[in-house]
Amino acid sequence: MLLAIDVGNTNTKFAIWDGASWRAQWRASTQTTRTADEYAPWLSQIMAMADLSFENVTDCIISTVVPQALFNLRNLSRRYVGAEPMVIGEDGLKLGIDVRIDKPAEAGADRLVNAVGAYITYGGPAIVIDSGTATTFDIVGADGAFEGGIILPGINLSLQALHDAAARLPRVEIRDPGRVIGKDTVSAMQSGIYWGSIDMIEGLVRRIKAEYGAPMKTIATGGVASLFEGSFSTVDHWDQDLTSRGLLEIFRRNGGAL
């Protein structure tokens, strides 16, 4: 079985592929100081709840946008899986796509993995919207190439900044307040973040499509995306397994077999 690890700025996702399907997926907060020996008992116990163990796992692939987390996760794979992990972005690892931006080395590992996952699942051209610590819009070409995109603050980050910068504004839950015009501070903030995020994303999707000049599919993924499922007219597919699917494809492209 394959252990696929996707490290984001806020959460780290662990997923198990058994050769035919994703057996289980879990999220943990990203902590750069957590050692391999601290990860192992937590992961071992949660795997046991799915009738899995480290003995079932033979391979590992890691994507991370937090370089400080890589050392301990690499050791987790070496000590407890017994395998040298494939790491997105390291020399010799083939993604199988062209990166058509001015500075290819600056493309985030998560964005490239999402591009691979989107192309093999839905084809191209496509827009991948990933809602997490940052909200990113990534453009996948007709041939699967990564062609750039947009990066902006994520929804939770925007809410946190609002709370921190304005003394009388509280932390609020992200949800549909039921109307656009808020009648108190909380509902006004919820309306702003909920409908503001929807209109911002839909507006940017329309601008991307107009500039690109060809029909494009739109795929939404990421930890926050599920809060908005069904509220967008511009999203064609909601796919929480997109990154894991991209990691599996890259594993296969580099000789991995299960």
Q: Which residues are catalytic?
A: 110
Q: Are 65 and 7 in contact (CB under 8 A)?
A: yes
* 3-class secondary-structure state, position 115: helix
Distance CA 24, CA 13 (A): 11
Q: Which residues contact 200 (CB under 8 A, 6 or more apart)?
A: 152
Q: Are 93 and 85 in contact (CB under 8 A)?
A: no
- State the sign of the Cα–Cα–Cα–Cα dihedral 193, 139, 27, 48: positive
| 90 phi/psi in degrees, rounded to 5 | -80, 150
* 3-class secondary-structure state, position 145: coil
Distance CA 95, CA 77 (A): 21
Specify which residues 218 forms β-bridges with: 127
Nearest to 221 by CA among 126, 114, 141: 114
Distance CA 251, CA 120 (A): 13
Distance CA 203, CA 70 (A): 36
Q: Which residues contact 209 (CB under 8 A, 6 or more apart)?
A: 127, 215, 216
Q: Is 123 left (phi over 0), alpha (psi -120 to 50) or beta?
A: left
